[in-house]
């Protein structure tokens, strides 16, 4: 069972930036409906990409430092990190099939 793990301003460097594997960060907030729509899809994708991509989520409301460091101005935003650098940037709600396409292109 792979489920997205919650990250915050305090552990972001360690969990996301210093990770060996690819890490996807879901920037979200509880008031954002498309974020809530995306959450169950990311739960499923975390399962599908288990061992390949680590799925994490960061509440922008609670963690303004990380959100502003990556200039997040629209949520949901998904950033895919490879060795500490964002390599892919997905803005807004997308259906599962489309996200899979994006992740496959970014992770190969």
Burial class (CB in 10 A: 0-12, 13-18, 19+), 70: middle
Compute the distance between CA of residue 93 and CA of residue 98 in angstroms, rounded to an integer: 10
By CB under 8 A, residue 51 contacts another protein: no
Annotated catalytic, 32? Answer: yes
* 89 binds another protein per the rule CB under 8 A: yes
Residue 35: active-site member: yes
Give the count of beta carbons closer than 10 Å to the beta carbon of residue 25.
24
Should residue 35 be labelled a site residue for another protein when binding is judged by CB under 8 A?
A: yes
For another protein, the closer of residues 19 and 93 by Cβ is 93
* Residue (of 93, 94, 55, 91) closest to 71 by Cα position: 91
Q: Compute the least distance from the CB of residue 5 to another protein, in Å.
A: 23
Strand partners, 85: 82
Active-site annotation holder among 35, 42, 45, 60 = 35
Residue 92 interacts with another protein (CB under 8 A): yes or no: yes
Residues that bind another protein (CB under 8 A): 29, 31-37, 61, 71-77, 89, 91-93, 95-97
């Amino acid at each position: 069972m792979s489920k997205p793990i919650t990250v915050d301003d305090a552990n972001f460097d360690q969990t996301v930036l210093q990770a060996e594997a690819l890490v996807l960060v879901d920037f979200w907030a509880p008031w954002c409906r498309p974020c809530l729509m995306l959450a169950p899809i990311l739960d499923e994708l975390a399962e599908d990409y288990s061992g390949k991509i680590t799925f994490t989520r960061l509440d922008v409301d609670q963690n303004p430092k990380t959100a502003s460091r990556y200039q997040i101005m629209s949520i949901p935003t998904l950033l895919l990190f490879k060795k500490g650098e964002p390599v892919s940037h997905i803005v807004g709600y997308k259906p599962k099939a489309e996200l899979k396409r994006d992740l496959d292109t970014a992770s190969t």
